[in-house]
Chains A and B, each alone.
Chain A
Amino acid sequence: MRRQAHKLLGLGLTGLLIAIVLIGFVWLPYDPLAIDLDHALAAPSLAHWLGTDEFGRDVAARAMLGARTSVLIAVETVTAAIVLGTMLGLVAGFLRGWTERVLMTISDALLAFPGILLALALISVLGSGSLSIVVALAVAYLPATIRIVRGSVISIREREYVEASRVAGDSALYTMWKHVLPNAMPPILILATSLFGWVVLSESALSFLGVGVPPPAPTWGNMLSSARPYMYTASWLSIAPGICIVLTLLGINMLGDALRDRFDPRDNA
């Protein structure tokens, strides 16, 4: 019963996020890029529900637009990391031997790479923009994905139906595709939801450090970053985007938990 509550809450919050993103495509309370220097740093009021920032831009509108950007970046990053990571993890876990050794060495080397270095390097090559962020974050989370998929595949490949398939003469590719992959899906799905949360956090951290989506486009991360000098004088600027992140992640994590419950037969007590 408590589990139901969790699942409902998760669905509810995620639904709210999607709703806000979709609404944002057709309606925003103000133009999130419009500057109004006479009303800069206004506290939340009826006119501006979440107040205005240092340029007089409406915080609520920016938060809504930021939702879209953050979600888009997260979706793109997670897709890239999951697809690539699954492929490489499958190959490493199934083939083992030298293939696995090489892949895991490269993967470990990537693990040591901090996001900011990668992001800076990519921005210089690809130009500043969400593409660089997506690639940087996808590369940053690739090693974890590879590791987890590989771990899963290693135990799956010992199962009888996989052996049977190999004995029957199926090619490795066929076996991987038909037997291993479907059984590895549950942990991959759960990983995807966790990843989504991590990516939103990482994107905001990158923006906080000054390496992020270019202005004036808002993301929750760069809103938090530009709010820092005004922490004492206009605290609503740092509270609004922070709460957005927290609620989004709560929803996603709860959804992930619900997914895990559904896929893990042992966990039914």
Chain B
Amino acid sequence: MIGYILRRLVLALPTLFLVAIMVFFLVRLIPGDPAQVMLGEGATPEAVAALHKELGLDQPIYTQFAIWFGHLLRGDLGTSISTGEPVGRLLIDRAQTTGIVVLLSVGLATLIAIGAGMVAAWRRGSLLDLAVMSGASLILAIPSFWLGLLLLLVFGVWLHWLPVVGYIPFSEDPLGALLFLILPIATLTISESGVLIRMMRSSAIDVLRLDFVTHARAKGLAERTVLMRHVFPNAFAPTLTLVGLTIGRLFGGIAVIETVFTLPGLGRLMVTGVLARDYPVVQGCLLFTALIFVLVNLLVDLLYPLFDPRVTVQ
């Protein structure tokens, strides 16, 4: 088991290395000079050149890469060009916010998907099934940020139930912070449940057709037991894979939700980093999300055998 985990991590290294190279060069390909952006309009060329020197941007690009990579191997992600803060610390702060939103949302969406998907598969062809499928289809068609804007409009402006925008750091006031997170989490939960419901329902239907289910029923087991102890574990595997992919994707791709709800998360950090040409931040963000991707998928693969006994961890 440990050997498997280690092997997987080692196999992931070339991917991460490739990501590191791609980000490094791609972000410098975009025109725009971080020093210029920082010093603003009216800055003298000498000031810009001086700042270049200070930031190490005057070196040839391969040297810059070597320096950055060397630091990376020692665990030093560098400092943000815009704020001077260590990138590592920035990432951890932002990842907390994003992490809370993503994990809570995907967790809730998974629970909803299991419930709705199982019930729809169990009562296939019924009105309930139709309702669940239509609901899932509708959810799949709605852009998440539009949903977020609508929820803001309804709950924030028209009903005044929830704050429209803003954020309190979790460490300062957890209860207050949660108030600001309700809408984004609700939005994301609804958005992500669509595809999870369909996946759960589809695999549950497949499993319900199998012989051993008929056997279990014939043995006289209660329907609830059949569903929860026999059907669900076997049907959950593909949904689990999807959950893993979703978590990995959301960590990097949540920028739009964070923009709508003005949350200081990873997604927005990357977007503002790109717009400010804050190279160390962009590089750090991308490596971090790639790492999360690898780790989450590894976790999913480890959990897989729990749900699908035919699968072994090779």
Q: In the complex they form, do A and B come into direct contact, defined as C-beta atoms under 8 angstroms apart?
A: yes
Closest residue of chain A to B209 (Cβ to Cβ) is A266
B286-A208 in contact (CB<8A) = no
Contacts of A116 in B (CB 8 A): 255, 270-271, 274
The answer to whether A250 touches B18, judged by C-beta atoms less than 8 angstroms apart, is no
Within 8 A of A (CB), among B149-183: 149-150, 152-153, 157
Q: Measured between alpha carbons, how far is A113 from B23 in the docked complex, in Å?
A: 8
Task: Please give, as numbers and ranges, the residues of chain A lying within 8 Å of B274 by CB-CB distance.
Answer: 116-117, 120
How distant is B296 from chain A, measured CB to nearest CB, in Å? Answer: 12
**CA separation between A266 and B15, bound complex, in Å?**
38
Which positions 1-46 of chain B face chain A at CB distance < 8 Å?
Answer: 14-15, 18-19, 22-23, 26-27, 29-31
- Of B48-56, B60-68, B84-92, B135-143, the one with at least 4 CB within 8 A of chain A: B135-143
- Could you tell me the dominant secondary structure of chain B's interface residues? helix
A226-249 CB mask vs B (1 if < 8 Å, else 0) is 001001100100100010011111
A242 and B143: CB pair below 8 A? yes
> Does residue A46 face the partner (Cβ distance < 8 Å to B)?
no
Which chain B residues numbered 118 to 155 have a C-beta less than 8 Å away from chain A? 124-125, 130, 137-138, 140-146, 149-150, 152-153
CA distance A214 to B283 in the complex (A): 27
Partner of A205 from the list B124, B142, B145 (CB cut-off 8 Å) is B145
Is B236 an interface residue, CB under 8 A from the partner?
Answer: no
Q: Choose among A117, A238, A253 the residue that contacts B137 (Cβ–Cβ < 8 A).
A: A253
B231 sits at the interface (CB 8 A): no
> Does A26 sit at the interface, judged by CB under 8 A?
no
Count A interface residues, CB 8 Å: 41
**Known contacts A114-B252, A124-B31, A250-B138, A235 near B153 by CB under 8 Å:** yes
| CB nearest to A242 among chain B residues | B146
Known: A116-B255, A197-B141, A235-B153. A109 touches B27 (CB 8 A): no
Judging by beta carbons under 8 Å apart, are B30 and A121 in contact?
Answer: yes
Q: Are B27 and A121 in contact (CB under 8 A)?
A: yes
Asked if residues A231 and B153 are in contact (CB atoms below 8 Å), the reply is: yes
Question: Which of B14, B22, B137, B259 contacts A250 (CB under 8 A)?
Answer: B137
Chain B residues closer than 8 Å to A197, beta-carbon distance = 140-141
CA distance A201 to B143 in the complex (A): 6
B240 part of interface (Cβ distance < 8 Å)? no
- CB proximity of A90 to chain B, nearest CB, Å: 22
Assembled-state Cα–Cα distance A107/B145 (Å): 27
Residues of chain A within 8 A of B290, CB atoms compared:
109, 112
**A225: min CB distance to chain B, Å:** 9
Interface size class of B (residues with CB under 8 A): 35 or more
| B293 surroundings in chain A (CB, below 8 A) | 108, 111-112
- Nearest CB in chain B to that of A254: its residue: B137
Contacts of A205 in B (CB 8 A): 143, 145, 256
Q: Which residue of B lies closest to A249 (CB)?
A: B141
CA distance A250 to B133 in the complex (A): 12
B253 at the interface (CB under 8 A from A): yes
Measured between alpha carbons, how far is A108 from B15 in the docked complex, in Å?
7
Interface check A153, CB cutoff 8 A: no
Q: Which of A108, A112, A201, A205 has the most CB of B within 10 A?
A: A112
A111 to B146 CA separation, bound complex (whole angstroms): 24
**Which residues from A are CB-within-8-Å of B18?**
105-106, 109
Query: In whole angstroms, what is the CA distance A254 to B141 when docked?
Result: 10
Residues of A within 8 A of B23 (CB): 113, 117
B255 & A209 in contact (Cβ 8 Å cutoff): yes
In the complex, the answer to whether B27 meets A238 with C-beta atoms within 8 Å is: no
The answer for the CA separation of A201 and B142 in the assembled complex, in Å, is 8
Cross-chain contact A249 with B27 (CB below 8 angstroms) = no
Nearest-CB residue, chain A, relative to B256: A205
A175 within 8 A of B: no
Q: Which of B31, B153, B209, B286 lies in contact with A117, CB distance below 8 A?
A: B286
Instruction: Give, as a whole number of angstroms, the nearest-CB distance from B259 to chain A.
Output: 7
Residues of A within 8 A of B125 (CB): 2, 269
Would you call B282 an interface residue if the criterion is a C-beta within 8 Å of the partner chain's C-beta atoms?
A: yes
**A138 interface hit (Cβ, 8 Å):** no
A112–B157 CA distance with the chains assembled, in angstroms: 36
Q: Once the chains bind, are A253 and B282 in contact (CB under 8 Å)?
A: no
Residues of A within 8 A of B255 (CB): 114, 116, 209
Given A113-B23, A116-B255, A224-B149, 4 more pairs with CB closer than 8 A: A197-B141, A205-B145, A205-B256, A250-B138
15 sampled A-B residue pairs with Cβ under 8 A: A2-B130, A108-B293, A111-B293, A112-B289, A114-B252, A114-B289, A117-B286, A124-B31, A197-B141, A205-B143, A231-B152, A238-B146, A238-B149, A245-B146, A253-B137
